[in-house]
Structure 1
Amino acid sequence: MKFLILLFLITGQIVMAAKIEHIEVKGIKIPLIFEEDRRLPLVNTQIVFTNSGSITDTKKAGLAKFSAKMLNEGSREMGANGFAEMLESKAIHMSASTGSETFVIEMGSLNEQFKQSAKYLKMLLKSPNFTERSLKKVKTMTMGAISRKENDYDYVASNALKSLLFKGTVLAQPASGTLKSVQSITLEDVKNFTKKHLVLSRAIVVVGGDVDIEAVKKELAKVLKILPKGKSEPLPYFEANGDAKTEVLKRETEQAYIYFGSPYNMAVNDEDYYKARVATFILGTGGFGSRLMEEIRVKRGLAYSAYARVHVSKSVSYLNGYLQTKIESQDEAKKTVQEVIEQFVKNGVTQDELEQTKKFLLGSEPLRVETMSQRLNRTFMDYYKGFPLDHSKKELQKIKDLQLDDLNDFIKQHREILKLSFAIVTK
């Protein structure tokens, strides 16, 4: 079934808003999110594999990211350098990466090279450079990066907070893995990961640019045919810990790094998410206008910046934030965070704060959809979360119509954010 939202002209060139179709391969209908844009002779393609990110690293931390790096080592026949040079000669970009829930293979090229780029992608997937030499190289680079991060105290504090919020789960471990876990990864681990996760039943294709949709279907069907059908598995959900614990890590540092977080009871497809978006903007996402910034920096001078945001996905829903402060101010800063959030839940927001937030979110909307990749990403996220394609537009209207009493009632219902855990790196 085809969903066509809008067709309009910009500078005489066709720009068609995203629509969803399908590519049928081996009896499986793979969703295709497509946007035609004739303004520049470029094509961007992503193959997204769901439930295939770091959340699947239940046996060896960092395996998903490690497997993506292995895929970036080119084809077995040409090797890393030969494959990279071949892509460069055609001005083609190709890379693999992972998020928490997804594994993504992306390629970009001029429209005249789209067919060739699909051919190279097929070559890569058919015979990736999974060799002991590549394994050793990726291990060395990954372990070097992990070692360097031991002195990145934002990284240390962030990981410590996740360990508190998601103790005993895969989310409590670093997505990049540890020195020990990465060292233990074998070639067989990588092969088994890609065999299980890079499959048709988990794939969603996202394409945008100066290309015909029938050409997209034809060329990408050739690529997808080499993948196994595989199995789609339900994504696990992890509840954030509400025990309000504090962990203090001692390091040689001149600043205290304070990371905090709490549960946030909201489903990924909750129709009230727009209220959470407005509320969190006022609390800690809105820069100098936010409550945390006002109290922590402007009034008390405890930190250069303070931030809080809500993460709502299929696998998690929680609030987290961070700030840096002087060693001698860390207790006061921690107490201030608790007080600000407590008053926020108790008293809600003001009419002026609501109006200012509406102006910013509605006024800055064009900046969030000005590029093709931004629009495609938004459409993908709406589809991935189970919303209709016009959901983002409807959400903006809901923000515009939001009344103060409704927002404050919503804020007061979420008392779970008072159950704050803290991870502090200090001297």
Structure 2
Amino acid sequence: MKRFVTAILLSGYALMASSLDYVEVHGVKVPVIYEEDKRLPIVSMQLVFTGSGSVDEGQKGGLARLSAKMLNEGSKSRGSVGFADALDARAIQLSATAGNETFVIELGSLKEEFDTGLALLQEQLKEPNFTAKTLTKTKTMALSDIARKEADFDTVASNELKAVLFEGTPMATPNIGTVESINQIKLKDIQSFVASHLVISNALVVIGGDISKDQAFQKAKQLLSDLSVGKKANDRYFEPRKTPKESILKRPATEQAYLYFGSPFAMREGDSEYYKARVAMFILGSSGFGSRMMEEIRVKRGLAYSAYSRLSVAKTNTYFSGYLQTKLQSQTEAKKTVIEVIDTFVRDGVTQNELDQARKFLLGSEPLRVETLSQRLGRTFSEYYSGKPLGSSVQELEMIRNLKLDDLNDFIKRHGEIRNLSYAIVTK
């Protein structure tokens, strides 16, 4: 069996050591990311199903998230309350969540209770509490969440920006769904989504803690054996809008304007120049105080309490985005300033001092990103999921350490597409 080991060496000592191996179940090789950590008598496991999030729910927005909520209602034999009581009695944590790209079931407990937790998870998967009563309950909660978020104008503007950037794709619908889409979901839709996505062909296991490797692999195989092989989900990618578009939502209750902006960025997950993007975006708007956005919009002009921008690079999409809140009367000036800041950034690049400060922070804060078991396992998962070699995070740090100003500014100039800004604005 081929074995890969990731080790991060910072300041002369190892901070990370997670391995990636495979376990064969019903003829399918399933990746297992593992790390032993005996400092606390706990074990945690994540059962990850790739290609099984909201981007693969078709026209039924909120289906993946609602399916996770339904799975959290326990098993048919115990019911929601009985199942929760069984978990609480042993201090076992068990929950399912659905994101854009993945569906994740997480199990955590004391070492001595892990077998009990595993048995309860197997029970939940074999006989999920998928009933009409449970569906009504979870749909009511989902509709309540949607109604509550309608009063959160940051969320409204953020969702509208994605609707603008990814118009006509599953990315345009928030993973929580809409009132219309939630009302249309039937029990058979939940059952079909779970049956077709929670399968061995989509599975990946992340496990660590006070458990030996042999035990971890045996537990993983035991859990996976109960699943059907199924069909591996297709890789999907959604291009953001290239031509700018603006959407203005009027909300009489708001006392300020919420400006959310976004644009395409010509990069795919696993790109060899991602480290340059990481430094560039840190300087432009991801570093809080000291970033270009914050300096120009808040410090110099006093247009907003905070201003932020970031780059999202995922398997299914890549885009640049940012936001700020400002006074209603300053909305036009704030929008103009964002355009100016980005235009100057692309045209003139960054200074040596900005590069030095960004490098100092990114390298100096790295130990904080791998100090816990979950962080280290998550780092290894991210490397594997993005198609990078394990240990690439270490190499990326070295490339940041050796990054030259001219190379960074050349990279920034080649990405003038971030000027093609689309807007979602909530105002009065």
**Fold in common (TM above 0.5):** yes
Q: Deviations over 1:159-194 (max 9, x none)?
A: 111111011111111111011110111110000000
Q: Is the 8 A contact 2:8 2:394 kept in 1?
A: no
AA matched with 2:197: H
Q: Which residue of 1 aligns with 2:353?
A: 352
Does the C-alpha gap of structure 1 residues 23 and 15 become closer, same or farther in structure 2, counting only changes over 3 Å?
farther
Q: Which residue of 2 aligns with 1:37?
A: 37
Q: Which residue of 2 aligns with 1:296?
A: 297
Q: Deviations over 1:298-330 (max 9, x none)?
A: 000000000000000111010000000000000
Unpaired runs of 5+ in structure 1? Answer: 9-13
The within-5 A match list for 1:20-419 is: 20-252=20-252, 253-419=254-420
Q: Deviations over 1:265-296 (max 9, x none)?
A: 00101010000000000000011110000000
* Structure 2 SS opposite 1:116: helix
Counterpart CA distance in 2 for 1:170 and 1:6 is 37
AA matched with 1:319: F
Q: Is the 8 A contact 1:15 1:38 kept in 2?
A: no
Counterpart CA distance in 1 for 2:32 and 2:138 is 32
* Structure 1 SS opposite 2:61: coil
AA matched with 2:119: K
State the shift of 1:222 in Å.
Answer: 1.9
Q: Is the 8 A contact 2:52 2:233 kept in 1?
A: no
Counterpart CA distance in 2 for 1:4 and 1:172 is 38
Q: Is the 8 A contact 2:16 2:376 kept in 1?
A: no
Q: Deviations over 1:308-364 (max 9, x none)?
A: 000001110100000000000000000000000000000000000000000000000
Q: Deviations over 1:356-385 (max 9, x none)?
A: 000000000011111110111110010001
The RMSD of aligned alpha carbons is 1.3
State the shift of 1:233 in Å.
Answer: 2.6
Does the C-alpha gap of structure 1 residues 23 and 153 become closer, same or farther in structure 2, counting only changes over 3 Å?
same
Q: Is the 8 A contact 1:15 1:39 kept in 2?
A: no
State the shift of 1:120 in Å.
Answer: 1.0
AA matched with 2:88: E
Q: Deviations over 1:186-243 (max 9, x none)?
A: 1100000000000000001000101011112222222211111011132211111011
Counterpart CA distance in 1 for 2:294 and 2:15 is 40
Q: Deviations over 1:96-137 (max 9, x none)?
A: 001110000000001111222111111110010001110010
Does the C-alpha gap of structure 1 residues 197 and 37 become closer, same or farther in structure 2, counting only changes over 3 Å?
same
* Structure 2 SS opposite 1:287: coil
Q: Is the 8 A contact 1:296 1:333 kept in 2?
A: yes
State the shift of 1:245 in Å.
Answer: 1.1
* Structure 2 SS opposite 1:318: strand
Q: Which residue of 2 aligns with 1:11?
A: none
More divergent stretch after superposition (237-246 vs 295-304) = 237-246
Q: Is the 8 A contact 1:122 1:222 kept in 2?
A: no
AA matched with 1:77: S
Q: Is the 8 A contact 1:15 1:36 kept in 2?
A: no
Unpaired runs of 5+ in structure 2? Answer: none
More divergent stretch after superposition (254-263 vs 152-161) = 152-161
Q: Is the 8 A contact 1:247 1:423 kept in 2?
A: yes
